[in-house]
Amino acid sequence: MTTTTTGTALDPSDLINFDALLSSEELALRQQVRQFVAENIKPNIATWYEKAVFPLEIVPEMAKLGLLGMHLEGYGCAGRSAVEYGLAGAELEAGDSGLRTFVSVQGSLAMSAIYKHGSEEQKQQWLPQMAAGEAIGCFGLTEPTAGSDPSSMTTFARRDGQDWVLNGTKRWIGLANVAKVAVIWAQTDEGIRGFVVPTDTPGYSATPIEPKLSMRASIQCEIELSDVRLPADAVLPHVTGLKGPFSCLNEARYGIIWGSMGAARDAFEDALAYSQTRMQFDKPLAGYQMTQQKLVDMALEINKGFLLALHIGRMKDAGTLDLHQISVGKLNNCREAIEICREARTILGGNGITMDYSPLRHANNLESVRTYEGTDEVHTLILGNKLTGVPAFR
């Protein structure tokens, strides 16, 4: 079973005294979220995952911790730094990717879209209640045939007098059936625009995608938009084109850099603890050279992954981050986290396929994390373009 560590002792995987790089405020925030996860998520996650339930009842508790839109300023948001947001994301994903994904969809996608591109009226209407957990938001960009290439979306918003009328389909949209507000991106005669859509608007419907082998303690939906009529002021006024949704996706991608390493660390801790107590041939698994090599290799990648996340977070806070650097973190840390979780499962043997241990659950979840907010292939091409100066997307 997963072990719990204190805020002052080094994590079992920490070979470099990573905590020495963090401020007392950052350590305190991390410990607060870690305690929340230990008390509220880890005791329940096996049941939630097995029953494919997203625990709506913990949303208000997350809001009390300031986790919803925590990197935004004002409107009831916590105004935390990028590094603090990342540390919180790592702790949440050590619990489960589905819970960290909720915080990302709410804060980095839906709230960020309104915060970055919305009118003051839209911000005042939605952000305070979203920060308080009184309203859940979703972010409708991906479509059944438009994933990695959102420019090919077919959802269309046409003007009808002073109103807008939306028609189309969105797919793999987190929390869409429990959301109170949806940010929907659509083609228009003037380019791609974002719309703030109350989900009780006639013509909006969301259906959960089931069954799933990954992200089971989360909700993903298909949204149908059938003659959804909106007033003129429903449009996000301050952005046109894909730079709107991409600015939000980059916020979510940044969170994944940290979150994926949180899942990897938790899987490692399960494997380490198991190896120290599981006896084979009259000694613990931890006493075998092959086991130690696995543990060392996993710990090294976790250390490197967190160093990369911290470096990117410090640059983000300083305003010096280049967008391709987010791709470096997302591509590397997701790829390594999946391998760590799979390797951790091998140490657990047959017991590793049960819900008593976290590695295989994390590995399954990370298949989704690896795919959303840009696949490995998309981030590889972003970095390939950076290295060569030659775009290879088409």
Tell me the pLDDT tens digit for each residue of 322-364. Answer: 999 999 999 999 999 999 999 999 999 999 999 999 999 999 9
Which pLDDT score, from 0 to 100, does residue 393 have?
87
Place domain 244-388 in its CATH homologous superfamily: Butyryl-CoA Dehydrogenase, subunit A, domain 3 (1.20.140.10)
Which pLDDT score, from 0 to 100, does residue 4 have?
41
**Token pair in block for residue 323:** 């967008």
Which pLDDT score, from 0 to 100, does residue 7 have?
40
Q: Which residues contact 234 (CB under 8 A, 6 or more apart)?
A: 164, 195, 196, 197
**Is 60 exceeded by the pLDDT of residue 318?**
yes
**Is 90 exceeded by the pLDDT of residue 97?**
yes
CATH of domain 137-240: 2.40.110.10
Residues 6-29 have a mean pLDDT of: 86
Which pLDDT score, from 0 to 100, does residue 28 have?
97
Cβ neighbours around 287 below 10 Å, total: 14
Place domain 18-132 in its CATH homologous superfamily: Acyl-CoA dehydrogenase/oxidase, N-terminal domain (1.10.540.10)
Q: What is the pLDDT of residues 205-262, one digit of tens each?
A: 999 999 999 999 999 999 999 999 999 999 999 999 999 999 999 999 999 999 999 9
**Given pLDDT bands bounded at 50, 70 and 90, which one contains residue 1?**
very low
The one-letter amino acid at 150: P
**Is 70 exceeded by the pLDDT of residue 91?**
yes
The one-letter amino acid at 272: L
Whole-angstrom Cα distance, residue 158 to residue 33?
44
Which pLDDT score, from 0 to 100, does residue 5 have?
40
Q: What is the pLDDT of residues 8-18, one digit of tens each?
A: 456 899 999 99
**Is 60 exceeded by the pLDDT of residue 203?**
yes
Indicate yes or no: pTM above 0.75.
Answer: yes
Domain boundaries, the chain: 18-132, 137-240, 244-388
Whole-angstrom Cα distance, residue 82 to residue 88?
10
Catalytic residues: 373
Could you tell me the CA-to-CA distances from 172 to 10, 99, 114, 207, 220 in Å, in that order?
Answer: 38, 16, 20, 10, 5
Which pLDDT score, from 0 to 100, does residue 10 have?
66
Contact 182, 222 (CB under 8 A): no
**Given pLDDT bands bounded at 50, 70 and 90, which one contains residue 394?**
confident
**Is 70 exceeded by the pLDDT of residue 3?**
no
Q: What is the pLDDT of residues 32-90, one digit of tens each?
A: 999 999 999 999 999 999 999 999 999 999 999 999 999 999 999 999 999 999 999 99
Mean pLDDT of the chain: 96
